[in-house]
Structure 1
Amino acid sequence: MTHDEELQKKYDYPLSLVKELILEFEPDVICGEVHPLSWELYVNEGESNGILGETQNEYPRLIFPLCEEMGIEFVPVNWFEEDVFEEEPFERFDSNVKSELENKLDDWKKKQLSLWKYGEVPFNSYEYDDVTKAMYEWLHTINPDVQNIEWNARHYIMVARVKQAIKKNTGKRILCIHGADHNYWYYESLGKLKDIQLIYPLR
C-alpha cells in the first residue's frame, strides 16, 4: 500500500485495485498493519481510527468491512510504543545538518517514487524494494538508536505475529497488507520459512 490518498490517485493505486487484488487472492486470513489494541477498540466499540488515530484509512474504508462481508479472519500485526516513538531520526543534529539530511531523505523518496510503475502493482516490485532497503540502511547509519526501535524492532515483532498466524492457519491462504516500505523486510523474513508458498508480488 501507499497510505497517502493523494499518492493513490497520482500513481494509479485506488482502493478499488486493492479490493480487486484481495478478491483475486481469495485469502482466508489477512494480516494487517493495525495495532492489536486498535483492532480490539474497533471490535468492541466500533472506533476505527486506532488508539492514537494511527490506523490508516484503507482499513475502515475497505479492509475491515470486506473481511466482515467475506468471512475473512483479520489478524492485527502492527507494533509501536508511543513513549519511545517520539524522537525523529534527525532530531539530535543541529539545524544545518538536519536540513542537509532531510534533503538527502527527500532524494531517496523521489528515487523510490520514480520506480512506482515497475511491476504490475504500483510500489510492489523488487526494484522498489532494493531502493527502499538501501534508504533504511542509510537511515540506520545516521541514527541507529531510532531506527533499531522504529524500524528493526517493529519489523521483528510484526513478522513474529505473521509467523504465529501461519502456525495457527496451516494450509490456509494468508494475505499480508501493509505500507510498501515494509515489503522487502517481509519478503526476506518470510522467505526463510519452510513449508509455505510465498507469493510476491501478487501479480
Structure 2
Amino acid sequence: MRRLVLLLLFTILFACDTDNRNEVLVLGLIQGKHLTEPEFSTEVLREMIRDIDPDIILAEIPPDRFAKAMTSYAETGIVNEYRVAQFPEYVDVIIPLTKEMDFTLIPTSAWTEEMANDRLTKMRAIRDDANREYEWRKYGLAKYIADSIKEASGRQYDPYWINSPAYDDASEIALRVYNELFNEELGPGGWDNINKAHYENIEKALKEYTNQGKRIVITYGAGHKGWFLRKLRERDDIKLISLGEAISLDSQD
C-alpha cells in the first residue's frame, strides 16, 4: 500500500513538472517600411526569424490567397498573388525561409479585398463629410499624439521598441479613438471587428497544436499586437514570450 501511495505521489509530481505548453510570440512588423527603414529591414527580419527558430508561423495572409501565393513561389520563385505581394515580410523573408527552415506557415488573416475596399470608401466619406469634422479632427489628434510619442522615443523603427509594451501603449492612444468612433460603422473592417475575426483564426491554430511544446510566432502589423496580447494573456494553455526572450543575448549582440 505504501509503495502504491509513493508511486501515485511520484506520478503527480512528475506530471506537474512537465510543461508542454507552446511558447507564443506576437511579432509586430512594419510591412512596407521593412523596405525603407534599415533598423528593421527585411535583412534584419530574416536574421531575426532564423534566431527565433519557430516551429509554426501564424501569418497575416488570407487563407483564400495562400495556396496561389505558395504555388507561384514554388514554380517561379516569385509570389505573384497580389494581395500577399504587398507584404515584403512574406514575399522577401518568411516565404523564402520555408526553403531553408523547418517551420509550418499557416495563413490566419480575416481580411478580404471587399472589406478593405469598403473600409477605404467609408473612411474617405467620413473625412470629406463637413458634419463629421469634429470626429475626424479627434481621430487625427489622437494619431498625431501616438506618432509623436513613437518618434520621441528615438527608436521609432527599432524592432525591440516596436515589440515592447511602450509601443503598444502609444499605439493604443490612436487605436482606441479610431475604434470608438468608427468600429460599428466600418462593419467587418472595423478595428475590434477585424481583430476578433483574425483572432478566431489564430485561436483555431493554437487549439490544433495545444500542448505540443512548440514555438509559435504570430506575425502581423505591429498595431495588432496589443489587441492580440490582451486576448492571449487570458489563456493558461500557452507561455507568452517576448522578442528578447525568444532571441538569445548572443544573437542580439
User: TM-score, length-normalised on structure 2?
Assistant: 0.68
Task: Pick the structure with more helix per residue.
Answer: 2
* Distance of 1:116 and 1:186 partners within structure 2: 25
Equivalent residue letter for 2:216:
I
Look up the match of 2:152: 114
Partners of 1:30 and 1:176 within 8 A in 2: yes
Q: Which structure ranks higher in relative contact order (CA pairs < 8 Å, sequence separation ≥ 6)?
A: 2
The residue type equivalent to 2:89 in the other structure is E
> After the TM superposition, which residues 183-202 of structure 1 pair with which residues of structure 2 at under 5 Å, given as runs?
183-202=225-244
How far apart, in 2, do the equivalents of 1:202 and 1:62 lie?
A: 20
Provide the TM-score with structure 1 as the length reference.
Answer: 0.83
Q: Percent of counterpart pairs with the same letter? A: 20
Alignment partner, residue 128 of structure 1: 167
Q: Could you say which structure has the larger radius of gyration?
A: 2
**Residues 31-50 of structure 1 correspond to what in structure 2 (within 5 A)?**
31-46=58-73, 48-50=79-81
Cα pair 1:140 1:147 within 8 Å, conserved: no
Instruction: Please list every run of 5 or more consecutive structure 2 residues that lacks an aligned counterpart in the other structure.
Output: 1-28, 246-253
Superposition pairs of residues 64-143 of structure 1, within 5 angstroms: 64-85=95-116, 86-88=118-120, 89=123, 91-93=125-127, 94-95=129-130, 97=133, 100=137, 103-104=140-141, 105-115=143-153, 117=155, 121-143=160-182
Structure showing the higher strand proportion among its residues: 2
Change (3 A) 1:115 1:54: farther
The number of residues matched between the two structures is: 202
Q: Which runs of 5+ in 1 are unaligned?
A: none
Q: CA RMSD in A?
A: 2.8
Q: 1:72 to 1:130 in 2, by over 3 A?
A: same
Cα 1:167–1:84 shift into 2, 3 Å: closer
